[in-house]
Every structure is written in structure tokens, then in C-alpha cells.
Amino acid sequence: MKKIPTNELEVLSAGRRRKILRRLRRDGVSIPCADGVIIGAAVSVGAGTLILPGTLLQGETTVGGHCVLGPNTWLRDCSVGEGCVLNSVHGEASVVGDGAQLGPFVRLRPGTVLEKEVRVGNFVEIKNAAVGAGTKIAHLSYIGDAALGRDVNVGCGLATANYDGRHKHRTVVGDGAFIGCHNSLVAPVTVGAGAYTAAGSTITEDVPPGALAIARARQENKLRAKNGGDEGS
């Protein structure tokens, strides 16, 4: 087989890219600036969607209408619903429901399913997890091998501890639960519907529905004595 020179490959690739972008524009997709926008031939994008610079759509990705993708969003083999906003999102083999808002700086690993109107904030990673409609995962969290119900509020800094060194385990959070800031949920564990976990808790046992779980040591202050020693309080 004759080897095609690198410069010719670049020309062919650029021509193919322009052809795909022209087709999408004819179909009602808005691409105001094509800088860094690369879209595969098998990708489907709905009318009214805005694609911003630095967006890469690859594989069997499908995107609904009236979405905003980018800047700097990369999706491979993902399904994105209608009216979604994905700002600086890295996603692979994941499903995003209608009206979801993600980013900036979100990673969706394979097996992630986000239902409608889910909100995921900055520096959140989700892997092999189902997240119910209306749930909010604000920022700085890892959700792995988990099932979160509807209208759950996840505070800053949640980590699902899903790996015990040999096996992966699953975390379940019921509808309407409130997960406090800087929590660790050590799987396998279930937080019941409408339950609360206090900030700074490490949850290792199931929390009944509607209960408040507090799993942290009592604060103790050591005051400095006048003679240089310490006094407890």
C-alpha cells in the first residue's frame, strides 16, 4: 500500500472536517468559531445546539437540540439529551439526560448515567454510577460505583470509597438525602431516603431513612497554659 505523505493526510483531514461542519450548520447547529472543533462522521447533533471552540465529538456520540457544548468539551460514545450545558466536560460511554448542567472541569467515566436536570459542578468525577433527576453534586467530589436517587444534595468533597483492595463495592443514596461536606461513604453502604449525614463524617454503616448520621470524633481544644504547659477543655 502506498504511504500517503503527512502533508496530504493533513489536507484530506481538514477537508473532511470542513465537510462535516458544513453539514451540521445546514442542519441548524451553530458553530460560530470552528477553532479546535473536531466532529466524527458518525456523530449526531440536534438543531439549535451551540458548539464552542475546543469541542471534540467522537465515536457514536449523539447530542440533542438546544444544547451548549464547550468550550473544551470531549465526548466519545456518549448520549446527551435536549437543552444540556456541558462546559469543559470529558466524557466517555456515558448518558446525560435532558436539561443537565455540567462543568466546568467534569469527568464522566464509562457507565455513568445522569437523569434529567442533574447539576454537576467543578472538579467532579463520576464513574459507573446512576444519578437521579434533579440531584446536585456541587464540586470537588468522586462518585464511583454508586446509585444516587432523585433530588439528592451532595456537599463539597464527597468521596465514595468503593474499593477495598480486592473488590469494588456499591454505594446507594436514597431520594432526597442530604450528604454533608467532606464525607466519605465507605461501600458497601446505603444512605436512606431523606437522611442526612453531618459534615466531616466517614459513614461505614447504613443510615436509616430520615435519620441524621454523625460519624466523627468530638472536638477537643488544648489551651496553652500561662506557665507554658497545656490545659485541656
Kindly list the catalytic residues.
139
First to last CA, the chain: 82
> Is the four-CA dihedral 105, 70, 78, 64 of positive or negative sign?
positive
